[in-house]
Amino acid sequence: MTAVGFIGLGNIGRPMALRLAASDLDLVVYDVAAAPVEELVAAGARAAASVAELAADVDVICVMVRDDDQVRDVLGEVLGVSGDRQTVVIHSTVATDTPGQLADVAASHGVKVVDAPVSGGPMGAAEGTLAIMVGGSDEAYAAARPALEVMGSKVVHAGPIGSGTKMKLARNLLHFVAFTAVTEAQRLAEAAGLSLKDLGDVVRHTDAITGGPGAIMYRETTAPIAQDDFWHGVFTHVADLGEKDLRFATALADELGVDVPLADLALTRLRPGLGL
């Protein structure tokens, strides 16, 4: 049976570790805070008194700490006691060059590293439905996979070390640009005398049906689309509808005196961005 260690029992790490505790994997946990450790022990995990004690007792070490510096500190303590069987799984979202740097250092100790940031928030962590994006060698991915599949319902091997982090950043670029677009839509709706809560209900309802922005993400390239390509007709229809509605929306914004720079930019970028 694979023995898994989990370091960092915070807002997302704690429910991730609870999923592992409920599985048939042997789980050891460590955190500087006592309360989440006690909760995990009550759920069936064993507690370690230090990172080093945890690392000496497990095969796979999941790390969900605050930032790059804390990840480096944890890895330093792991390498001080590691053998050649461990795989360190970095769940923290770090700088793009950090996973590769850490993997190089760990390799000199015979330790494998994967970067495996997650998407889905505390709710996905609690339900075991996280998307987990993994960068690393096939061997390291295979070693981490039993634990990853307990915590996430969508586990993607994105490529070599660092690829998981890059995919997470691309995903979050979409996430937070969309949040910024939401602020424009809310200002427009508010100026038009509409209920922002009702608008939010409509957005969540329809995105659950259509897939939201992910509905157009099926091509393997962003290159221009050939006229005889299936997607040319599909995306031409998307662009025609999008430009029509964006023109109406920006005209309403002008009428109401609402600044919508992202919408103005989208009107010029949508069609070429789709590859048309």
Question: Looking at residue 265, which CATH number applies to its domain?
Answer: 1.10.1040.10
As a whole number of angstroms, the distance between CA 18 and CA 13 comes to 9
Residue-level pLDDT at 39: 98
* Those residues with Cβ within 8 angstroms of residue 19's Cβ, 6 or more apart along the chain or in another chain: 125, 126, 128, 150, 151
DSSP string, 149-173: HHHEEEEEEEESTTHHHHHHHHHHH
Model confidence band, residue 1 (pLDDT cutoffs 50, 70, 90): low
Mean pLDDT of 108-136: 97
Among candidate residues 136, 160, 184, the one where a domain is terminated: 160
Model confidence band, residue 82 (pLDDT cutoffs 50, 70, 90): confident
pLDDT above 90 covers a percentage of the chain that reads 97
Mean pLDDT of 98-119: 96
Looking at the fold, whether 17 and 115 belong to one and the same domain comes out as yes
Residue-level pLDDT at 99: 97
Instruction: CATH number of the domain at 25, please.
Output: 3.40.50.720
CB 8 within 8 A of CB 31: yes
Residue 84 reports pLDDT greater than 80: no
Please tell me the total count of domains within the chain: 2
Residue-level pLDDT at 85: 81
Q: Which domain holds residue 243?
A: 167-273
Among candidate residues 160, 192, 223, the one where a domain is terminated: 160
Looking at the fold, whether 81 and 180 belong to one and the same domain comes out as no
Strands 87-90 and 60-63: parallel
Residue 2 reports pLDDT greater than 90: no
Among candidate residues 160, 176, 205, the one where a domain is terminated: 160
Looking at the fold, whether 146 and 172 belong to one and the same domain comes out as no
Residue of 154, 166, 168, 197 marked catalytic: 168
Residue-level pLDDT at 10: 96
Looking at the fold, whether 219 and 124 belong to one and the same domain comes out as no
Mean pLDDT of 142-170: 98
Looking at the fold, whether 147 and 172 belong to one and the same domain comes out as no
Residue-level pLDDT at 171: 97
As a whole number of angstroms, the distance between CA 87 and CA 60 comes to 5
Mean pLDDT of 138-153: 97
154 part of the active site: no
Residue-level pLDDT at 21: 98
Model confidence band, residue 63 (pLDDT cutoffs 50, 70, 90): very high
Looking at the fold, whether 176 and 198 belong to one and the same domain comes out as yes
Looking at the fold, whether 87 and 205 belong to one and the same domain comes out as no
